Structure 1
Amino acid sequence: MSVVYLGLGSNIGDKEGFITQALCLLSEKCEVKKQSHFYRTEPVGTLQQDWFLNCAIEAETSRDPKDLLTFIQSVERTLGRVKTEKNGPRIIDIDILLYGNEIVQTKNLVIPHPLLQDRLFVLQPMMDLNPALIHPVLKKSIQVLYKKVPKDKKVLLYK
């Protein structure tokens, strides 16, 4: 079993409901060990859109990274995700943030997530889960990355 960290977000409709449904579907193939708080987060980019609800989980899985990505994409489709514009509104978005200490770089998958260290809305929930966790490429803890990330976008505790 491998330890994986996933980020989940939604900014359309019943955001909490969509994330809760995603967590339920993910638990069919991943054993969720910890879940962060939910955070209301200001959208990234230039599009006018509703704020996101975000969280992160620590889970264990026997799936390899490619199979995990395929499974995650099937969960997103099941919940009605339609890929539109980059950083656009979405019913559900699930990202593989970290997969153990593995480093993966393919056309369709990059692990660790290439923007993890730049996104407060990812690092704040990761702080709930494991602030001492070391980023396998940057060799810095989540806590150190969190302290360095710009705080220009709002990330507010939801519950």
Structure 2
Amino acid sequence: MRPERRRVVLSLGSNLGDRFDTLQGAVDALFDAPGLDFVAVSPIYETDPVGGPEQGPYLNVVVVAETAFGPRTLLERAQGVEAAFQRVRRERWGPRTLDVDIVTVGDERSDDPELTLPHPRAHERAFVLRPWLDVDPDAELPGRGRVADLLPGLEDQGVRRTDRVLQTPE
């Protein structure tokens, strides 16, 4: 029996080095190996950092894909891509070359401290919800509701759409 395919939402951000090239490389790397099928990538947003120390602005995108991978396998793929871009975890919410967060894996819910699903702070972050809404106007965050209904309270978070776009993976 074939495993069920589910839609997954990933949030990618970078605020060190060549942020655009890092995001493009990360999207390419996520889809280089089989098992994750590309659906959409959002426009790029430049965003003010949320929490943590003084640091420069981020570039953020949301990627939507389909997969039969379980959450743990998806986490391993995401962390492998972060490592390929020299992600270093020195301080919580500190600057980084690349951050790949798993926002949702279908409707799955989990309180596992290594991978809480849906992402425990996604509903509070315009840099996740705004680009997600761009690629899926009917998006819902499990347990929280429609993304379109969550976003209005977050408009003051310094999220600015850029005119740059990433190439979609082949």
TM over 0.5: yes
For residues 38-117 of structure 1, the aligned pairs below 5 Å read: 38-117=44-123
Shift of 1:46: 4.6
Residue aligning to 1:5: 9
Asked whether the equivalents of residues 35 and 58 of structure 1 are also in contact (C-alpha less than 8 Å), the reply is: yes
Does residue 24 of structure 1 match 2:28?
A: yes
- SS of the aligned residue for 2:123 comes to helix
Alignment partners' CA distance in 2, 1:18 and 1:42: 18
- The number of equivalent residue pairs is 157
1:118 and 2:117 aligned: no
Could you tell me which amino acid in structure 2 is paired with residue 114 of structure 1?
A: P
Gaps of 5+ in 2: 164-170
Contact persistence 1:130–1:142 (CA under 8 A): no
RMSD: 1.1
Partner of 1:142: 147
Query: Does 60-69 or 6-15 show the bigger shift?
Result: 60-69
The separation in 2 between residues aligned to 1:136 and 1:105, in whole angstroms, is: 13
CA 1:46–1:67: 2 relative to 1, 3 Å: closer
Structure 2 counterpart of 1:34: 40
CA-to-aligned-CA distance 1:135-158 (integer Å, 9 cap, x gap):
2212x1010011233x33211111
Alignment gaps of 5+ in structure 1: none
* Runs of 4+ more than 3 Å apart: none
The worse-fitting range, judged by mean Cα deviation, of 123-132 and 12-21 is 123-132
Write the distance in 1 (CA, Å) between the matches of 2:153 and 2:133.
Answer: 13
Superposed CA offset, 1:30-63 (max 9, x none): 1111110000000112511110000001101121
